[in-house]
Amino acid sequence: MNSQSLGPDVGCEKGAGYRGLRRDHPDQASVPPNKPGKDAPPEATQAWEQARHAQSSARICGEHPIAGSKHWRPLQRWLGRQEDLHEPVQAIGSLASDRAAAW
């Protein structure tokens, strides 16, 4: 499923490996900014570091439930079709998110 089928108001925070997704869907995908060159002034490097940290902080809310879900035995032993995995992952993500909010 591509992000276009989800609608134009759906956005996502991704890591640096998803720059192509940002290129294809600039209004929906957010990735860390490109690292400045070696000859960049210190102000540019500091601005990059702050922007990268801000994007990382926004993304961490989704990363922790994904990492936590890898500890759930049913997902480790999933033998079904990948298309059918969406609902269990969404349910586990909700549980992990609720647990994180309780802290």
Summarised one tens digit per residue, pLDDT across range 36-77 is: 999 999 999 999 999 889 888 887 777 776 776 666 666 666
Q: Tell me, yes or no, whether 95 lies in a domain.
A: yes
Q: Identify whether 34 is part of a domain.
A: yes
Domain assignment present for residue 45? The answer is: yes
Please tell me the distance from the alpha carbon of residue 79 to that of residue 68, in angstroms, as a whole number: 20
> How many domains, the chain?
1
Q: For residues 23 and 87, which has the higher predicted lDDT (pLDDT)?
A: 23
Q: Is residue 1 part of a domain?
A: no
Can you give the pTM of this predicted structure?
0.52
Domain extent, residue 82, equals 7-102
Q: Is position 2 within any domain? A: no
Instruction: Give Rg (Cα) of the chain.
Output: 17
Beta bridge partners of 13: 30
Check if the beta carbon of residue 77 is closer than 8 Å to that of residue 50. Answer: no
Question: Cβ-count burial of 58 within 10 angstroms (0-12 exposed, 13-18 middle, 19+ buried)?
Answer: exposed
